């Protein structure tokens, strides 16, 4: 009996110890990404020996390897086309592992190509592997200390590859390196091309504060070289950038430059739209400085006048509507009424019957503010005639007329 009790107690102690041990050994969390297939070092039939710095590929080995890797790329593309993305990426990864032995530039180009495919396939793991490999190549390239040793084509290729895997910050690092070198080389053409890429990258990620100085520099270069077409293009980009970032004074500077250019070229078609934008900026700035309201009025009027002369009646109507709203906000009812009467004529020229109906409603409301009820009634009646033709808002105008008909003028 005692022996049996000893066995039971011993078993309980052992069980307790094993349980404690199991609790203390917590399972390791799984890696976010498995080991990269691009780092596998298993020998490949296409490359029986692994080259190194002391014994790189011979010319004959390169000539044999390049077409074989091109064939792998085609095979992978065919697999993807056949609806086998996993098998396709396995083949592409094999190609990428071997491409590195043809040099960094060849490898980066291949990584860029496969990276774009992986992104389109929503394969986050593959994108991660490729990005990591690109960073490793970049780190190696950064070890080059002097400008003369920097491989510009490699850095440009790195920038494009990072774009393909949607890593804008890394892409910008690569293009900044390119820009640094081409500036030192005083290669103006390359500077412009690199700045354009950097600017587009900032814009694609809505980084307007960083995009602005890039396009300002491009504008300065275009102006100094007399490139009028590029100058206009960069001014238009800056207009958009400053509008999006609410930098109104900078926006005004750019818009006025565009107006000056178009007037000098006798290209008045663009003027109404620019004047509307200028007036809008002044109207916003007038919230802090009321004296700027005069500039807003002036530019809305110029937008209307130019549009009317060009027979752009839709744009003329837009300018009048903005002008009327501004008059009303300042309590200038007489001026708002006068502009509204002109708006009716403008909308008639544009054959915009809906716009005419709205203009009559606006006139009616303005007369109501002035307590000139007969004139208001007339305006609402004209609005009703148009509403009946359009079969739209008839009940509204009928209601307004009934209210006024019951009133004692």
Query: What's the pLDDT at 146?
Result: 55
Task: Tell me if 33 sits within 8 A of 125, measured CB to CB.
Answer: yes
Give the torsion through C-alpha atoms of 199, 203, 204, 207, to 10 deg: 110
- Entry field: residues in the chain: 409
Distance CA 65, CA 51 (A): 12
- Where does 185-292 have alpha helices with state H? 188-204, 208-224, 228-244, 248-264, 271-285
Distance CA 269, CA 229 (A): 16
The interaxial angle of helices 313-329 and 271-285, nearest 10 deg, is 10
Query: What's the pLDDT at 18?
Result: 44
The DSSP call for residue 311 is T
Distance CA 371, CA 333 (A): 12
Distance CA 189, CA 351 (A): 50
Cross-strand partners of 159: none
**Is the whole-model pTM more than 0.85?**
no
Q: What are phi and psi of 44, to 5 degrees?
A: -115, 140
Distance CA 275, CA 319 (A): 9
Distance CA 314, CA 317 (A): 5
**Which of 53, 55, 60, 49 is closest to 98 using CA atoms?**
49
Distance CA 323, CA 330 (A): 11
- Between the alpha carbon of residue 301 and those of residues 156, 271, 274, 316, the distances in Å are 49, 12, 12, 9
The interaxial angle of helices 168-184 and 152-164, nearest 10 deg, is 160
Distance CA 307, CA 321 (A): 13
Q: Scan for tokens 């005692």, then name that residue.
A: 2
Query: What's the pLDDT at 112?
Result: 98
The DSSP call for residue 53 is S
Q: Which helix (H) or strand (E) holds 69?
A: helix 59-81
Which residue ranges of the chain lie beneath pLDDT 70?
1-33, 145-149, 407-409
Give the torsion through C-alpha atoms of 28, 30, 34, 39, to 10 deg: -20
Q: 312-335 burial by CB neighbour count: b if 16+ within 10 A, else e?
A: bbebbbbbbbbbbebbbeeeeeeb
- Give the list of residues 6+ apart from residue 73 with CB closer than 8 angstroms, or none: 92, 95, 110, 113
Distance CA 20, CA 10 (A): 15
Task: Tell me if 193 sits within 8 A of 212, measured CB to CB.
Answer: no
């Amino acid at each position: 009996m005692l022996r049996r009790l000893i066995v039971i107690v011993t078993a309980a102690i052992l069980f307790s110890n094993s349980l404690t041990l199991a609790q203390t050994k917590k399972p390791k969390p799984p890696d976010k990404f498995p080991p990269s297939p691009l780092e596998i070092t298993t020998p490949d039939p296409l490359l029986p020996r692994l080259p190194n710095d002391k014994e790189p590929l011979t010319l004959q080995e390169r000539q044999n390897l390049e077409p074989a890797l091109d064939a792998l790329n085609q095979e992978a593309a065919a697999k993807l086309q056949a609806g086998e993305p996993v098998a396709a990426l396995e083949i592409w990864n094999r190609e990428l592992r071997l491409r590195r032995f043809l040099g960094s530039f060849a490898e980066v180009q291949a990584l860029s190509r496969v990276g774009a495919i992986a992104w389109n396939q929503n394969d986050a793991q593959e994108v991660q592997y490729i990005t990591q490999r690109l960073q490793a190549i970049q780190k190696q390239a950064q070890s080059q200390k002097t400008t003369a040793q920097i491989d510009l084509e490699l850095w440009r290729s790195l920038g494009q590859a990072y774009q393909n895997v949607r890593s804008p910050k890394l892409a910008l690092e690569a293009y900044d390196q390119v820009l640094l070198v081409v500036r030192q080389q005083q290669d103006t053409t390359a500077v412009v091309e690199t700045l354009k890429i950097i600017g587009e990258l900032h814009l694609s990620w809505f980084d307007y504060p960083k995009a602005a100085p890039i396009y300002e520099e491009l504008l300065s270069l275009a102006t100094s070289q007399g490139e009028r077409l590029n100058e206009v293009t960069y001014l238009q980009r800056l207009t958009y950038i400053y509008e999006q970032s609410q930098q109104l004074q900078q926006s005004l500077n750019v818009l006025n430059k565009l107006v000056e250019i178009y007037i000098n070229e006798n290209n008045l078609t663009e003027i109404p739209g620019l004047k509307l934008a200028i007036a809008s900026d002044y109207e916003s700035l007038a919230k802090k400085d009321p004296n700027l309201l005069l500039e807003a009025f002036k530019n809305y009027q110029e937008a209307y006048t130019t549009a009317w002369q060009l027979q752009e009646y839709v744009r003329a109507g837009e300018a009048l509507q903005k002008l009327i709203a501004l008059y009303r906000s300042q309590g200038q009812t007489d001026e708002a009424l006068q502009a509204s009467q002109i708006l009716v004529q403008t909308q008639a020229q544009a054959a915009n019957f809906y716009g005419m109906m709205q203009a009559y409603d606006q006139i009616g409301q303005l007369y109501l503010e002035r307590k000139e009820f007969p004139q208001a009634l007339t305006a609402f009646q004209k609005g009703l005639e148009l509403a009946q033709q359009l079969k739209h808002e008839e009940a509204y105008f009928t209601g307004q007329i009934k209210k006024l008909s019951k009133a004692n003028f």
